[in-house]
Amino acid sequence: MRREALYLKIAKVIEEQIDSETLKLGDKLPSIRSIQKIYNVSINTAKQAFLELESKSLIEARPKSGYFVSKTSRRKFSLPTVGKLKSSQDEKPQGDLISKILNTLEDKDIRQFSIGAPDSSLLPIAKLNKGVINVVRTLPDGGTSYEPVQGSVNLRRGIAKWSLVLEGKLTEDDIVTTSGTMNALYNCLLAVTQRDDTIAVETPVYFGILQMARSMGLNVIEIPNHPITGVDLEALKKVLPKLKACCFISNFSNPLGCLMPDEHKKELVRMLTEHDIPLIEDDLYGNLFFGATRPKPCKAFDEAGIVMWCGSVSKTLAPGYRVGWVAAGKYKDKIIRQKFLQTISTPTLYQEVIADFLEHGRYDHHLRTLRTKLYTNCLQFQRAIEDYFPHNTKISQPQGGFMLWLELDKKIDTAKLYDIAIKQKISFAPGRMFSLHNQYNNCMRLNYGLEWNQKLDFDLKRLGNIVKSAI
């Protein structure tokens, strides 16, 4: 009895520290060994104390990083609202608003909460540069020759080998390299649709997909995205007969960070296979998971070759390299033909650098570090927003990636708020950008893929104050 009481006593002390915010959301807990020393108890007792806190969802273990205050059971702020099923034939993307936001990205004096890539301080730039120098010295003809249209065989082999989550389903021959995921998506849409066709995307969704689809003359149906489980399959079912293709971010959708459960993915692929509707799966955030393992893509459940699995290193390693790929199932040959006609081939150098990075385990190493940082940042951002933003703020609970979605008071128009914030050198992405319809006007997307420090905390406080003053 005494031992049991002891671990509960320790757990209670830590719980009080969490409640009083001595230990804040996102803070790292002392190691089990420290607990052992501080309380003069056995390792087992210390471990049991942590298990107790974990069972109450107050703390969370991160592989190889220790325990963190997660407090999911005591979230002060509720989840954002799920959108409604909407289809569009005439509505246009918010081109002007989007251009306005994109045009500030160059300004280094602005706090860039709006950018769609991790901050360069989180990237292994010195190692990548070393990779470039090594590769350029060994590349035949220094990379001046045309590469085979399908792309660097070393990179394709690397991706196939490294995609363990696909359980050996993929070979180098299944993959075509592209100029980033955006280029993969473009080619997938081009391969399976024609002007005036209808496609489905989730909502809210990355504005680039909406702009791309509309520029190709496609009609877009926006399928509600649950903030935790992603695409609403019941809603999708209703519009299925109209569709020529679906384009979903299955893992950590941008901006919600939600994750489709495996059962949903299986059911989605089953439904689409039945109707022979291709699924363009944008899996560019899949490796930035906060859970124990890398979530499977829908591709893992694809037997008929209808899933076009798109990936890249743009969100994890080097946005500017423009290295992406697609495993396009039965549409592969069409993608290769299109690639040839659009650009002949992709440059070899960066593909080889990434292949090298994969081959020597440097990518896995980097991803482990990056995931820990992003998860910690996610918790820090949630804590800061709970501290600094109005109490009726709703906040997403991302399970990976580096995007946070806020739903503010109904009175607030974040497009107008942006003009105020940018004068104070703070940029964010207004919610209206993420739909073709007139919605999400009181929402914003924040990028937490930044180096956490006091200045960042202060900038979130400033943004919170801007929101408060607007009500």
Buried residues in 447-465 as b, exposed as e (16+ CB within 10 A):
bbbbebeeebbebbebbbe
Least distance to a copy of itself, CB of residue 139, Å: 8
Q: Which is nearer to a copy of itself, 51 or 190 (CB)?
A: 190
For β-strands 307-312 and 324-327, DSSP reports them as antiparallel
Alpha helices in 395-471 (DSSP H): 414-423, 454-470
Q: Is 182 in the site for a copy of itself (CB under 8 A)?
A: yes
Q: Which of 12, 38, 142, 438 binds a copy of itself (CB under 8 A)?
A: 142
Least distance to a copy of itself, CB of residue 95, Å: 8
Q: Is 145 in the site for a copy of itself (CB under 8 A)?
A: yes
Q: Is 447 in the site for a copy of itself (CB under 8 A)?
A: no
Q: Is 183 in the site for a copy of itself (CB under 8 A)?
A: yes
Q: Which is nearer to a copy of itself, 156 or 394 (CB)?
A: 156
Q: Is 396 in the site for a copy of itself (CB under 8 A)?
A: no
Looking at residue 135, its amino acid is V
Name which of 178, 176, 177, 172 is nearest 157 in CA terms.
172
Least distance to a copy of itself, CB of residue 346, Å: 7
Size of the site for a copy of itself (CB under 8 A): 53
Lookup: tokens for 69: 């205050």
Lookup: tokens for 463: 């943004």
From residue 188 to residue 207, what is the string marking binding to a copy of itself with x (rule CB under 8 A)? -------x------------
* Cα distance between residue 248 and residue 280, in whole Å: 6
Q: Is 341 in the site for a copy of itself (CB under 8 A)?
A: yes
Give the H or E element holding residue 421: helix 414-423
Residue linked to tokens 């394709």: 156
Exposed/middle/buried for residue 293 (C-beta within 10 Å: 0-12, 13-18, 19+): exposed
From residue 294 to residue 323, what is the string marking binding to a copy of itself with x (rule CB under 8 A)? --------------------x--xxxxxx-
Rounded to a whole number of angstroms, the CA Rg of the chain reads 23
Q: Is 220 in the site for a copy of itself (CB under 8 A)?
A: no
Give the Cβ contact number of residue 331 at 10 Å: 21
Q: Which of 150, 198, 346, 396 binds a copy of itself (CB under 8 A)?
A: 346
DSSP 8-state code for residue 79: P
User: Within positions 87 to 116, which residues make up the interface with a copy of itself, using CB under 8 A?
Assistant: 102, 105-106
Q: Which of 133, 173, 364, 458 binds a copy of itself (CB under 8 A)?
A: 133
From residue 350 to residue 379, what is the string marking binding to a copy of itself with x (rule CB under 8 A)? x-----------------------------
Least distance to a copy of itself, CB of residue 116, Å: 9
Looking at residue 296, its amino acid is K
> For 60, phi and psi rounded to 5 degrees?
-145, 135
C-beta separation of 49 from 10 below 8 A? yes
Alpha helices in 276-396 (DSSP H): 332-343, 348-359, 362-388
Query: Which spans of this chain sit near a copy of itself (rule: CB under 8 A)?
Result: 102, 105-106, 117, 120, 123, 125-126, 128-129, 132-133, 136-137, 141-149, 179-180, 182-183, 186, 195, 208, 211-212, 215, 314, 317-322, 337-338, 340-350
